[in-house]
């Protein structure tokens, strides 16, 4: 068994419940982890036998470009897209961090993690 970790992937996106967030956007970090049997990739040195990091980043960017009110929704969409791309690998973990959320008080970030 092996573990692949990609990230944090930095993305500028327009998620949030406040109308202003749809206009000004904000910084996000996304981390993706997948475990599985990557022994064929280890033995054969073949990208087709593993998870392509470049494609992971592209999927994250594609999904983060679709506006959501909640980071929970964005994270679930990313997870679904990854599972669709690589149905034989898993389980997956997707962590979305919103930097400096607009809350009353001093919060460096808000984070949501989904697994499946």
- CB atoms under 10 Å from CB of 53, counted, come to 15
Cα distance between residue 81 and residue 79, in whole Å? 5
Of these residues, 20, 98, 99, 108, which one is catalytic? Answer: 98
Q: What is the DSSP letter of 19?
A: H
Catalytic residue flag (residue 21):
yes
Catalytic residue among 5, 20, 21, 99: 21
Q: Give me the helix-helix angle, 71-85 and 53-64, nearest 10°.
A: 140
Answer whether the bond into residue 8 is a cis peptide, omega within 30°: yes
- DSSP 8-state symbol, 23: H
- Asked about 83 being catalytic, the answer comes back as no
Question: Catalytic amino acids?
Answer: 21, 98
């Amino acid at each position: 068994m092996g573990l692949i970790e990609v990230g944090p992937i930095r993305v500028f996106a327009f998620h949030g419940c406040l109308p202003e967030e749809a206009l000004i956007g904000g910084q996000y970090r996304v981390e993706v982890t997948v475990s599985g049997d990557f022994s064929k990739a280890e033995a054969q040195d073949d990208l087709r036998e593993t998870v392509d990091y470049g494609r992971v980043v592209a999927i994250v960017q594609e999904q983060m470009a679709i506006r959501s009110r909640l980071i929970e929704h964005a994270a679930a969409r990313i997870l679904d897209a990854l599972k669709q791309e690589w149905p034989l690998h898993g389980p997956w973990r997707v962590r979305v961090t919103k930097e400096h959320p607009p809350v009353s008080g001093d919060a460096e970030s808000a984070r949501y993690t989904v697994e499946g």
